[in-house]
């Protein structure tokens, strides 16, 4: 008689399930969208109440010799005599319908005024982004390849100066040199490529410094890794090693900060547009604040806040797609 012993069942091999990636990513996207909407709601609320602390716009719209009856009549026609809570609720309801009301000074819908000024701001931000990429990427690569040498210290000194210098001071200095002394470029205005050069360079100074510094740090970390030493052992030249192997691994944080700089370029255009009389949303914001144009101030502040929120949201989502480790950790 032979005894047969049953073999114990083989332990099940647990494999990572891929089915949870979709719901996890969806939850992350919904969470980011909810956070973005909350930030926009808080920004709209703060802008609504703070702008009303600046004073009564009726005093600016009417001449100094206007009577109290004329002021009360205009205030009623503008809806400023209504309870503050009712004005606030109407403002929120208008945002939901993308209706920001009419400008108190221009007597036009705020959305039309923004759409009219928006192309100039986008043009300036796009030109500044091009200047940033053209200067910052070669500078960061050069500084990383020459780490610890005199040329590296020179680049880093320039980066430090760029991050420490206020944009309006850079703009005034560029006007003094290229417009007043050299008569090479116009000091202000809009319409030609020559008018775009100085504002774009002024706006790009800080972004160039930020991107170049981060790219240098990322490349230095990557160039000390094992696969880079292997590539060098195979006989690849220094530049080929950096461009082929180094940039691929160092580009992820750089892409992230470049995306964030897009929002900074749009938001930072306020001072630059003011210095160069550039007819964009930044210049419009300063004019609206000076004139106490409540609907226009609220709309421009919300525009800049929405720009930052949307850009940060897209960068965050793209970071999750580019690096699966980030996606699985959330």
Kindly tell me if the per-residue pLDDT of 13 is higher than 60: no
User: Which band of pLDDT confidence, cut at 50, 70 and 90, is reported for residue 261?
Assistant: confident
Cα–Cα distance between 141 and 147 in angstroms, integer?
Answer: 10
103's torsion region: left (phi>0), alpha (psi -120 to 50) or beta?
beta
| CA dihedral of 276, 282, 286, 288, whole degrees rounded to 10 | 130
191's torsion region: left (phi>0), alpha (psi -120 to 50) or beta?
left
131-182 residue pLDDT tens: 999 999 999 888 888 888 888 899 889 888 988 888 889 999 999 999 999 9
179-221 residue pLDDT tens: 999 999 999 989 899 999 999 999 999 999 989 998 888 888 8
Q: Check residue 24 and give its pLDDT.
A: 73
User: Which band of pLDDT confidence, cut at 50, 70 and 90, is reported for residue 14?
Assistant: very low
Q: Check residue 160 and give its pLDDT.
A: 87
Kindly tell me if the per-residue pLDDT of 85 is higher than 90: yes
Cα–Cα distance between 110 and 299 in angstroms, integer?
Answer: 7
* Sign of torsion over alpha carbons 205, 211, 216, 217: positive
Q: Check residue 4 and give its pLDDT.
A: 46
* Sign of torsion over alpha carbons 76, 81, 86, 87: positive
Q: Bigger pLDDT: 56 or 238?
A: 56
Q: What is the pTM of this model?
A: 0.82
52-75 residue pLDDT tens: 888 889 888 888 888 889 888 988
Kindly tell me if the per-residue pLDDT of 2 is higher than 80: no
Cα–Cα distance between 220 and 286 in angstroms, integer?
Answer: 42
278's torsion region: left (phi>0), alpha (psi -120 to 50) or beta?
beta
At 277, give phi and psi (nearest 5°): 50, 45
Kindly tell me if the per-residue pLDDT of 19 is higher than 70: no
Q: Check residue 247 and give its pLDDT.
A: 73
248's torsion region: left (phi>0), alpha (psi -120 to 50) or beta?
alpha
Cα–Cα distance between 167 and 206 in angstroms, integer?
Answer: 8
Q: Check residue 71 and give its pLDDT.
A: 87
Q: Check residue 36 and give its pLDDT.
A: 87
Q: Check residue 38 and give its pLDDT.
A: 93
Residue 132's contacts (CB-CB under 8 Å, 6 or more residues apart) are 204, 207, 208, 211, 258, 261, 265
| Choice among 154-163, 285-294, 321-330 with the minimum mean pLDDT | 321-330
SS (H, E, C) the chain: CCCCCCCCCCCCCCCCCCCCHHHHHHHHHHHHHHHHHHHHHHHHHHHHHHHCCCCCCHHHHCCCCCCHHHHHHHHHHCCCCCCHHHHHHHHHHHHHCCCCCECCCCCCEHHHHHHHHHHHHHHHHHHHHHHHHHHHHHHHHHHHHCCCCHHHHHHHHHHHHHHHCCHHHHHHHHHHHHHHHCCCCCCCCCCCHHHHHHHHHHHHHHHHHHHHHHHHHHHHHHHCCHHHHHHHHCCCCHHHHHHHHHHHHHHHHHHHHHHHHHHHHHHCHHHHHHHCCCCCHHHHHHHHHHHCCHHHHHHHHHHHHHHHHHHHHHHHHHHHHHCHHHHHCC
Cα–Cα distance between 115 and 45 in angstroms, integer?
Answer: 23
| Choice among 162-171, 305-314, 316-325 with the minimum mean pLDDT | 316-325
Kindly tell me if the per-residue pLDDT of 32 is higher than 50: yes
Q: Check residue 262 and give its pLDDT.
A: 82
| Choice among 29-38, 74-83, 236-245, 306-315 with the minimum mean pLDDT | 236-245
Q: Check residue 1 and give its pLDDT.
A: 43
Q: Check residue 43 and give its pLDDT.
A: 92
């Amino acid at each position: 008689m032979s005894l047969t012993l049953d073999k114990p069942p083989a332990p099940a091999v647990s494999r990572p399930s891929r089915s949870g990636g979709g719901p996890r990513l969806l939850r992350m996207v919904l969470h980011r969208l909810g956070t973005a909407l909350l930030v926009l709601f808080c920004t709209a609320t703060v802008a609504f109440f703070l702008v009303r602390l600046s004073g009564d716009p009726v005093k600016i719209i009417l001449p100094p010799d206007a009577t109290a009856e004329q002021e009360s009549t205009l205030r009623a026609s503008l809806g400023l005599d209504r309870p503050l809570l009712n004005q606030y609720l109407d403002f929120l309801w208008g945002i939901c319908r993308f209706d920001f009301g009419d400008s108190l000074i221009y007597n036009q819908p705020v959305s039309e005024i923004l759409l009219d000024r928006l192309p100039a701001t986008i043009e300036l931000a796009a030109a500044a982004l091009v200047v940033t990429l053209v200067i910052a990427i070669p500078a960061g690569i050069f500084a990383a390849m020459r780490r610890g040498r005199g040329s590296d210290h020179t680049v880093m000194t320039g980066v430090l100066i760029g991050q420490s210098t206020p944009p309006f001071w850079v703009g005034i200095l560029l006007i003094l040199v290229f417009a007043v002394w050299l008569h090479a470029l116009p000091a202000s205005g809009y319409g030609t490529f020559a008018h775009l050069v100085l504002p774009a360079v002024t706006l790009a100074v800080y972004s160039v410094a930020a991107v170049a510094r981060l790219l240098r740090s990322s490349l230095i970390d990557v160039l000390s890794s094992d696969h880079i030493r292997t590539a060098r052992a195979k006989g690849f030249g220094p530049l080929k090693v950096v461009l082929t192997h180094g940039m691929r691994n160092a580009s992820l944080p750089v892409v992230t900060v470049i995306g964030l700089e897009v929002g900074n370029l749009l938001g930072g255009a306020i001072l630059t547009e003011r210095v160069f009389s550039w007819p964009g949303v930044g210049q419009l914001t300063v004019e609206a604040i000076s004139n106490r144009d409540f609907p226009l101030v609220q709309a421009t502040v919300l525009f800049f806040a929405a720009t930052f929120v949307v850009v940060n949201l897209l960068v965050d989502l793209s970071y999750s797609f580019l690096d699966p480790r980030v996606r699985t950790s959330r």
